[in-house]
A and B are shown apart, each in its own frame.
Chain A
Amino acid sequence: MDKVARKIAPAKWAPRSYLPQEAVGADALTGCLRTQTDALSFWACNNDGSSLKDVVLALACRFERPEKMHLVVLEMKALLDSGLEIEKTEGGTIVNDLRGRHRDVVHLSMEALCIIARLIAREVRAAEGHHVFSKAEVLDILCTAVKQGRLSLDALGEKVREGLEKRSADPPHFTA
């Protein structure tokens, strides 16, 4: 897997009328790039639909309520070429087979975080590395994982379980 993905709020990455066109607004960094121990969490993936759905699954199983999800996908090489360090770490997901897919970009300084911010802004603004999953798509991904035995229904939040019950009456039509 040569890419990493992370959940974002794309509106925060839009150009601002009061900033130069290429500038990234501060809200993007403070809202979307929260670090812990100077590390930023990502999930390894390819750019194909199945791999991205796994990232959605790893993240959405922690949801407290069913909702849409935006992912940004970055090339690992672009991060490494920028001098950033990537470590394989255990991911905080209840899907056992996805824990090994977690990656941390570690030892981050403010300057390093700005490098990541510029890479994300480029992908979101070019719309190439940005993928949106609707609420129904997120529920379909969770539903499939439950049926496959990758995830226990009881492990999900109450509102997510309610969403899955409602959704089960409708046929999934996920095509992305």
Chain B
Amino acid sequence: MKPAHDRRTPPRVHPADRAPLGSLEVLRARLLASLEDEPLEDGMTHAAEELLREAILGHPEEAEQWLTQIISSNGPTTQAGILQCLGRLHHPEVIQAAEEIASRAFSSPDVGVRESAIGVVEQWGTPSLIEALRRHQEATPWLSRYAEKVLRDLSV
């Protein structure tokens, strides 16, 4: 008779646990888990920032595609959270990888994603994002007020 443990179903292994530590697959899983575990709050640091920093600085050539894939395959709350965290990272590599992603986010139907995109402009203030925000016609009144303030602040 076989020992009982031989008949057990092998424990399920998440794909991220099979990949080497620090790989984009691991970082993606940890990023999504961190955003699920802890809500983002204005002014407060979030664990997702460090994971994004590690992914982008550690894999600069794959970073934009990696980010685009995560954003396109997740819902608006996750998209908004990732954008807000990206805006908090001021490394040139992060800006290079995510500037176009932030610019595209202005056309999101979700008000939270558009707010995070405006927040990225506020944090980075790059000429191309300022121009994208100038072109953006925001229909939600409170978000339009925020966008106007950001453009005013960045015009100094």
Contact = CB atoms under 8 A, between A and B. Distances in A.
Interface of B is mostly: helix
B142 A132 contact: yes
Contacts of B119: 67-68
Interface residues of B, number: 26
Contact of B115 (A11, A31, A138, A171): A11
Contact of B146 (A7, A60, A66, A132): A132
A14 B112 CA distance: 9
Contact of A134 (B111, B122, B141): B122
Given A11-B80, A27-B77, A132-B142, A137 B43 contact: no
B140 interface: yes
Contacts of A63: 42-44
Contact of B42 (A7, A124, A137): A7
Contact of A70 (B42, B80, B111, B123): B42
A14 B123 contact: no
B42 A171 contact: no
B137 interface: no
Given A124-B142, A132-B142, A67 B150 contact: no
A135 to B, nearest CB: 5
B80 A67 contact: no
A12 B112 contact: yes
B149 interface: yes
A9 B122 CA distance: 17
B15 interface: no
B57 to A, nearest CB: 18
B156 interface: yes
B6 interface: no
A67 B42 contact: yes
A127 B149 contact: no
Which of A14, A68, A124 neighbours the largest number of chain B CB atoms within 10 Å of its CB? A68
The 9 closest A-B CB pairs, nearest first, are A11-B112, A63-B43, A136-B153, A134-B149, A67-B43, A64-B45, A132-B146, A67-B42, A11-B111
